[in-house]
C-alpha cells in the first residue's frame, strides 16, 4: 500500500513540476516584477522544487506515522492515532492536489478569461474541503486520545486556545466580508476571490473554514495535552516528537490558510519578500513532518522490541 502512495506522490509531483514550468505567463505579472518570461518560468521552478522536497518529507512523515498507527489499530490509542494520521495525510496529499489544480487552472485561464470564475470557485471549494476533512479527522482522533487520559484538559488551556481562535476567526471574517473583489475582478492580474454572492461565500466557505480552524486549533491543544499527561516515561519521550510535529503541521497549515485570505496584502509584497515568506512556511512544514516521522519511528520501536 505504501508503495502505491509513494508512486502516487511522485506522479503528482511530476505533474506539478511540468505544470509549473510550462505555465503560460500573464503579461501583467511580467510587467509588475519586471522579469522576462524565462525568468518567470525559472521562478516557478524555485517555488516548485522546495515544494517538492517538503512534500517528500510530508509523504515520508505520513507513511511512517500511519504505519505505526496501523500496527496498533486494535487498541484505543491505535484507533485515535490512525484517525490523526489520516488527517495529516489529507493535509499532505490534499495540499499537493490543490497545488496541481492551481497550476492547471493558471495555465487554463491565462488566455481563457471566461473560464476564470468557474475555475476560481472550484479551487476555493477544493481547498476548503481538504482543510475541513483534514482537521475534522485530527479533531476526532485527538478527542479519542483525550478519552484515554480520562482527565479533561484544564480550563486555562481551553481558554487560551479559544482566545487564539477568536482572534483568527474575527480577522478572517473581517477580511472575507470587506473583500471588495470577491465577486468582481479588475483586469486579469487583480482577480476576484470567489465569483459568488456574499451570503453563499459566508455559508459555504467562510463558516466551514471557521469550523475547520476551530477543530485544527483544538486538535493541536489536545495532542499537546496528551503528550504532557500520558503515562509512561519512555512512551512520552517518543511521543514528544510526534506530538510536536503534528502541532507544527496543524498550526502552519492554519497560518498558510490565513495568509491565503490576505491576497491583497500579498500582492503588494516584493518578490523577494514573497519568496522568503513561502520558504519559511515550507521549511516549518518540513520540520513538522520530519518530527512526525521521527516520533513514529521511535514509537514503532516500542512495539517491536
Partner 1 sequence: MASRTTLYQQVVEVTADVLGPAAERFVARQIENHLNKPPEKLTRSDLEELVDWIKLAISMLTDDQTLVDAYGKRILELAKKR
Task: Give contact residues for partner 1 (rule: CB under 8 A).
Answer: 72, 75-77, 148, 230-237, 239, 299, 301-303, 305
Nearer to partner 1, 154 or 301 (CB): 301
Nearer to partner 1, 118 or 301 (CB): 301
CA distance 121 to 118: 5
Torsion of CA 126, 128, 134, 139, to 10 degrees: -160
- Identify the burial level of 199 via C-beta atoms within 10 angstroms of its C-beta, where 0-12 means exposed, 13-18 middle and 19 or more buried: exposed
Q: Least distance to partner 1 from the beta carbon of 78, Å? A: 9
Nearer to partner 1, 237 or 265 (CB): 237
Do you know the residue count of the chain?
Answer: 305
Q: Which of 23, 92, 81 is closest to 51 using CA atoms? A: 92
**If you search the block for the grid coordinates 511530476, which residue do you land on?**
14
Residue 150 in 3-state DSSP? coil
Q: Least distance to partner 1 from the beta carbon of 230, Å? A: 5
Q: Least distance to partner 1 from the beta carbon of 238, Å? A: 8
Nearer to partner 1, 9 or 243 (CB): 243
All 3 cell numbers of residue 101?
489544480
Q: Least distance to partner 1 from the beta carbon of 69, Å? A: 12
Nearer to partner 1, 36 or 76 (CB): 76
Q: Which of 88, 63, 71, 92 is closest to 5 using CA atoms? A: 63
Q: Least distance to partner 1 from the beta carbon of 229, Å? A: 10
How far does Cα 47 stand from its chain's mean position?
16
Amino acid at each position: 500500500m505504501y508503495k502505491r502512495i509513494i508512486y502516487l506522490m511522485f506522479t503528482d509531483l511530476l505533474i506539478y513540476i511540468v505544470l509549473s514550468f510550462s505555465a503560460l505567463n500573464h503579461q501583467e505579472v511580467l510587467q509588475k516584477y519586471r522579469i522576462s518570461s524565462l525568468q518567470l518560468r525559472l521562478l516557478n521552478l524555485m517555488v516548485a522544487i522546495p515544494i517538492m522536497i517538503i512534500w517528500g518529507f510530508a509523504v515520508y512523515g505520513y507513511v511512517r506515522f500511519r504505519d505505526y498507527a496501523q500496527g496498533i489499530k486494535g487498541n484505543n490509542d491505535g484507533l485515535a492515532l490512525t484517525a490523526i494520521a489520516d488527517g495529516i495525510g489529507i493535509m499532505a496529499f490534499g495540499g499537493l492536489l490543490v497545488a496541481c489544480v492551481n497550476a492547471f487552472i493558471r495555465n487554463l485561464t491565462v488566455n481563457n478569461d471566461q473560464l476564470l470564475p468557474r475555475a476560481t470557485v472550484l479551487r476555493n471549494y477544493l481547498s476548503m474541503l481538504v482543510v475541513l476533512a483534514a482537521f475534522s479527522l485530527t479533531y476526532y482522533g485527538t478527542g479519542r486520545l483525550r478519552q484515554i487520559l480520562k482527565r479533561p484538559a484544564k480550563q486555562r488551556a481551553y481558554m487560551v486556545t479559544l482566545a487564539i481562535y477568536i482572534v483568527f476567526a474575527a480577522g478572517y471574517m473581517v477580511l472575507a466580508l470587506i473583500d471588495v473583489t470577491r465577486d468582481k475582478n479588475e483586469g486579469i492580474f487583480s482577480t476576484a476571490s470567489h465569483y459568488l454572492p456574499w451570503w453563499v461565500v459566508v455559508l459555504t466557505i467562510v463558516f466551514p473554514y471557521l469550523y475547520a480552524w476551530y477543530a485544527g486549533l483544538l486538535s493541536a491543544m489536545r495532542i499537546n495535552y496528551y503528550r504532557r499527561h500520558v503515562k509512561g516515561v519512555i512512551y512520552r519521550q517518543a511521543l514528544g516528537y510526534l506530538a510536536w510535529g503534528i502541532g507544527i503541521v496543524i498550526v502552519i497549515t492554519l497560518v498558510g490558510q490565513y495568509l491565503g485570505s490576505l491576497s491583497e496584502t500579498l500582492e503588494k509584497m516584493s518578490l523577494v519578500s514573497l519568496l522568503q515568506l513561502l520558504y519559511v512556511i515550507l521549511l516549518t512544514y518540513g520540520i513538522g513532518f520530519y518530527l512526525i516521522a521521527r516520533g513514529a519511528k521511535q514509537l514503532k520501536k516500542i512495539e517491536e522490541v
